[in-house]
Amino acid sequence: MNGRSESVTGPPLVVIGGSAGALGGLLDLAGGLPNDFPAALLVVVHIPPDQPSVLPELLNRAGPLPAKAAEDGEQLQGGHIYVAPPDHHLLARHTTLQLSRGPRENRSRPSIDVLFRSAAYSFGPRAAGLILSGMQDDGTSGLWAIKQFGGTAIVQRPEEAQYQDMPLSAVRQVEVDDILPVHEIASRLVAWADTLGTREVKVSVDQTERRRLGLELGIAGEEASFEAGILNHGPLSPFTCPECHGVMMQIKEGRLTRFRCHTGHAFTSGTLISGVRQMVEDSMWSTVRALDEQVMLLAHLGKHLREAGQPDEADHLHQETQEATERMRLLRRVALRQEPLA
């Protein structure tokens, strides 16, 4: 995608993102929409990459609008629901759908942020974004982009959500238009569609943000991040990517700070903290494994030395084995969070 958005003909667009606990609210929403709802709806719900999604079938049974798994190159139709398939980002490129296996964002593919940014960039004021139940904060950056481009931001009431993290993150960091219980969201979307073109629109995005957003959407669509010059679009960060250990740059979006590495992986601050914690734990268990192997090797060699009539050398290795065993046990307790190192 280039650095400027273009006018879009065709249906308006509603983009919906959810994770843990979002299914019930999504089905309730589908059941509350009328069969003549004019907008197309794109849905990202976090699911394991190696399992088929049954969400289109569930949505088909829940309400009057036809639902299906999105297909690459498909033309958007109003009154239809399109669901991101497992392990693929879903993007709205004007009136056409794009599927990609671009770098994961917030350790997820499909990413809610990718979908929402594409809606903001291509549809501007004719896009509405909805955040449902989920853990961590995927979707906050994308909802911010929708607001910057003049779109409408709606969030499920956090107190109602089974998992409040995603709704709370959006409410705290984005100037959302509505915070609603699920049973009121369908009627709100109908009212939104009815008033398109008549309400006052506030577009806050500047040309620098527009160019950077276009670049990021290109990366999500499988363009080469480093060759596109992503590191030139923000200050370099001292932190490395938990996914690939690459250099990262820092992006500021309103009250939100996030990071993207030169290979393309992207993180909000909260997801980066989670990723670094996981990286530290993985490193500790890798060290535990190495110490286990050292103990096994020392014990094995000590046995052979004793059998070969070299008791002094065997005693030396036995002492080293005991010291390595103590180090392994200490680090294992730390990895299990049973006690601190000191």
Catalytic (active site) residue 137: no
Cβ contacts of 159 within 8 Å, gap of 6 or more: none
Residue 160 contacts residue 182 (beta carbons within 8 Å): yes
Select which of 5, 19, 169, 274 is catalytic.
19
- On average, the pLDDT of the chain sits at 91
d(CA 69, CA 84): 6
DSSP-H helix ranges across the chain: 23-32, 55-62, 112-123, 140-148, 165-173, 182-194, 207-220, 225-228, 269-307, 311-335
Select which of 5, 46, 113, 118 is catalytic.
46
Catalytic (active site) residue 72: no
d(CA 60, CA 72): 20
Q: 260: exposed, middle or buried (C-beta count within 10 Å: 0-12, 13-18, 19+)?
A: buried
Residue 258 contacts residue 241 (beta carbons within 8 Å): no
Phi, psi of 261 (to 5 degrees): -90, 170
Q: Give residue 83's pLDDT band: very low, low, confident or very high (50, 70, 90).
A: very high
Phi, psi of 65 (to 5 degrees): -85, 135
d(CA 224, CA 263): 7
Residue 156 contacts residue 186 (beta carbons within 8 Å): no
pLDDT for 8 = 58
- Name which of 71-80, 252-261, 274-283 the model is least confident about: 274-283
More confident residue, 1 or 33: 33
Q: Which residue has the tokens 């995005």?
A: 205
Tell me which DSSP letter residue 242 carries. Answer: T
Residue 237 contacts residue 250 (beta carbons within 8 Å): yes
Four-point Cα dihedral 252, 255, 256, 261, nearest 10: 20
Q: Give residue 165's pLDDT band: very low, low, confident or very high (50, 70, 90).
A: very high
Catalytic (active site) residue 87: no
For the segment 289-297, the average pLDDT, to the nearest whole number, is 92
Sign of CA dihedral 321, 324, 330, 334: negative
pLDDT for 2 = 38
Select which of 5, 88, 113, 138 is catalytic.
138
Sign of CA dihedral 291, 297, 298, 299: positive
pLDDT tens digits for range 135-154 = 989 999 999 999 999 999 99
Q: Which long-range contacts (CB under 8 A, 24 or more apart) does 176-181 make?
A: 176/143, 176/147, 177/152, 177/153, 178/152, 178/153, 178/154, 179/154, 179/155, 180/154, 180/155, 180/156, 181/156, 181/157
For the segment 42-49, the average pLDDT, to the nearest whole number, is 92
